[in-house]
Amino acid sequence: MKILAITGSPRRRGNSSRLADEFIAGAEESGCEVIRFDAAFKKIHPCVACEKCHSGDGGCAFKDDMQELNPHLLEADGVVFASPIYYYGMNSQIRSVIDRFYANDAALHVPKKTALLLSFADDTLESAEGAIASYRGMANFLGWKDAGVVAAKGCHAAGDVDNTEYLKEARRLGRNFAK
């Protein structure tokens, strides 16, 4: 199984990045091939709804790092998202990537598995509910099978997720993703 892991964390060793590390390790233990795309370290122009992608000439108006991502996105059997929550939703780095899925919309309505990994400071799920609803709505719209969500609450400072059950959950989700 080919899995594309898209991360949004601008911290290389941040909490959501660590969740992605563990998911990837678990998936690779199960024999999956994983490509990681760290959106925060890429040049991704936000979608401006110019409709060039749907004008018949087949392509986005912006020639940026989505050109690197798109082949993996289209080939992947599964797509996993890892994002910190700053203010009630996935962060802007990963949102820009997801918004640019629009250019590939027709090609993305194929069976895929998907999962969501979140980290946030709040000690309740309230601040993650918007991100989870957006993710589930997107998965439903695309016809993708939701394999699960790991929502690491109480993880504000880098390293807060270490030595928690959340890392074990992410690894377990990765191990079971292809099943």
What digits encode the pLDDT tens for the residues 23-73?
999 999 999 999 999 999 999 999 999 999 988 776 899 999 999 999 999
What digits encode the pLDDT tens for the residues 93-144?
999 999 999 999 999 999 999 999 999 999 999 999 999 999 999 999 999 9
pLDDT beyond 70 at 150: yes
Residue 55, pLDDT score: 87
Task: Spell out a b/e string for 36-67, using b for 16 or more CB atoms within 10 Å of the CB, else e.
Answer: bbbbbebebeebeeeeebeeeeeebebeebbe
Q: What's this model's pTM, rounded to 2 decimal places?
A: 0.96
Residue 58, pLDDT score: 67
